[in-house]
Structure 1
């Protein structure tokens, strides 16, 4: 990929954060919408309902801002019958366990735990009422940059998971146009945890109806092979010679027809610690996205299940492949796969993870 250029001084302004009501939940509680600006052209709007990123505005190569995530302008969109049926998790915080757990069952310290099977025969994204469907407590932070700290206490037994899990997630805009998400969790009883965010990106800012023309590069030499229900078989297969090889840049749509159903797989990331793991670029706008994380995997999902039944912001119809996700994570079904990195969290331990989505332009 070509070198990226920094933003011109014309984008400079003062960092800020503001709040407004976003709508009322069915139980009468009011959700809020927070708008964060970093003073360098990046703006994000986040509601404390589900910790959901509703809007993310980033400048293109000509300095024009565009909304690069899928979502809705009001809370009603997230409660519509069509959205509830489709369940795409637009922009939401995902927990307690992101991705799938086979047959909704796992064993921990000799005890078997049963979870909801809300994705065919499997458990998906925390169950029927995961973290995407709760109202988070909010603390506004301004130093060293505009940020939100979202907090939630998940009681012992919620959705079948053991232990009271105390969760904190901080969304922060960085000076170099990154949306940094810092996750933390503790428990009073041994449990499992796998937290992520489910933003759907379309770097064209709505100018293109799908993301098949986006260029993608993943720093991953292997991926987790899945069965026909998208649960890992346990095999970590080399990407070389397959349509899963994004070690060099390829268009998302270049080989997608060779993957039954499209991309919805976990890539095994190389390296350790907080590092660059993925890069995407949209050629017409010049927008780029770099993903940094300390997690061992990333789920690349190409929006295969979007079917045009949802109309989002600015009247855009979200059809197949309207957005793509890069969900940083531990591997799916890790509790049932002893050879995968562990997702077990014990009392006295701290789950801590950081992911950053950094936006730029190339000309």
Structure 2
């Protein structure tokens, strides 16, 4: 695997051709890397935590693990978490090598022709671009027949210099959202909450609050989420914004997207003790990811989930 660099006088972005994995988003004024990365790059070959990876062909959890193609045939997907399909399966886009081309000094394009997966053939492109203090990520998909495409990026953010300090004390705020309810096996349902009730209120970040306020809550939803956050937030506006701040508010990340939701996951399940840069051994709550995408399980809940052309855009502004 090869690492590539995009930089200007304000930010530096590093990524791999393997999985399109983002290994660094650096704020140059104080040399803080906003993301978690493995110390040993060979860990990206297995990548049990999906660090920095491109996720697809369909992000999130799908149950039942299948879909109907344009002819009405049921296409079975591989099962890689309990009884469901997670993040496109065992050999998803996070496990593929992408062809990388330099478009100009501010833009790289990654290309992968997905011909060997469960899904219909699709030509996929990722565009990584920097503009002032912003990193812009765009996905494109082109297929001759309707197929599955719901991509996201799984970068974990931690705005501390010392990554041994987790994200419990980070501040989080986002535009108004609804919470997608999950069942006891974490499968997303078609029920939603505005989080006005006490049961859900700890997961509401409409007003700025510490992320750790949502941890270790004594209710069933918290237990399903392994005492953290592992939930889809559905945006109530076409121009949503997510703002993450370090405890001292010195480092700020602003995320805007054209996607309808963001799945927020706070690294609640640690199964392998791997070393990360600037932080020793990975621990619970070491980082937080914002997986901007179509709402989870849309293959089973959306009336027309198949598409021939795909485009998605998310912007990360580093302050």
Same fold at TM > 0.5? yes
Q: Conserved in 1, the CA contact under 8 Å of 2:174 and 2:240?
A: no
Equivalent runs, 1:145-160 vs 2, <5 Å: 146-155=106-115, 158-160=116-118
1:166 aligns with 2:128: no
| Aligned CA distance change for structure 1 residues 308 and 121 (closer, same or farther; 3 Å) | closer
| Aligned CA distance change for structure 1 residues 308 and 117 (closer, same or farther; 3 Å) | closer
Q: Distance in 2 between matches of 1:207 and 1:65?
A: 13
- Report how many residues are paired: 308
Describe the SS at the equivalent of 1:103. coil
Q: Residue 67 of structure 1 aligns with which residue? A: 33
Q: Distance in 1 between matches of 2:168 and 2:279?
A: 21
From 31, 50, 66, the equivalent of 1:89 is 50
Q: Residue 87 of structure 2 aligns with which residue? A: 125
Q: Conserved in 2, the CA contact under 8 Å of 1:223 and 1:265?
A: yes
- After superposition, give the CA deviation of every residue in 1:17-55 in whole Å (9 maximum; x if it has no partner): xxxxxxxxxxxxxx2211111222x11110100000012
Q: CA deviation at 1:306?
A: 2.7
Question: Unaligned regions of 5+ residues in structure 1, if any?
Answer: 1-30
Q: CA deviation at 1:353?
A: 1.1
Q: CA deviation at 1:73?
A: 4.3
Q: Distance in 2 between matches of 1:194 and 1:255?
A: 27
Q: Distance in 1 between matches of 2:77 and 2:31?
A: 42
Q: Residue 230 of structure 2 aligns with which residue? A: 264
Equivalent runs, 1:174-323 vs 2, <5 Å: 174-175=131-132, 177-241=133-197, 242-258=201-217, 259-260=222-223, 261=226, 262-272=228-238, 275-284=239-248, 286-306=250-270, 309-314=273-278, 316-323=280-287
4+ runs of 1 displaced by more than 3 Å? none
Describe the SS at the equivalent of 2:137. strand
Describe the SS at the equivalent of 2:213. coil
- After superposition, give the CA deviation of every residue in 1:204-244 in whole Å (9 maximum; x if it has no partner): 13255210101111223311100122211210211223222
Q: CA deviation at 1:101?
A: 0.7
Q: Distance in 1 between matches of 2:148 and 2:310?
A: 10
Q: CA deviation at 1:277?
A: 2.1
Q: Distance in 1 between matches of 2:274 and 2:8?
A: 30
Using structure 1 for the length normalisation, give the TM-score: 0.81
RMSD over aligned CA atoms reads 1.7
Question: Unaligned regions of 5+ residues in structure 2, if any?
Answer: none
Q: Conserved in 1, the CA contact under 8 Å of 2:171 and 2:245?
A: yes
Using structure 2 for the length normalisation, give the TM-score: 0.91
| Structure (1 or 2) with the larger CA radius of gyration | 1
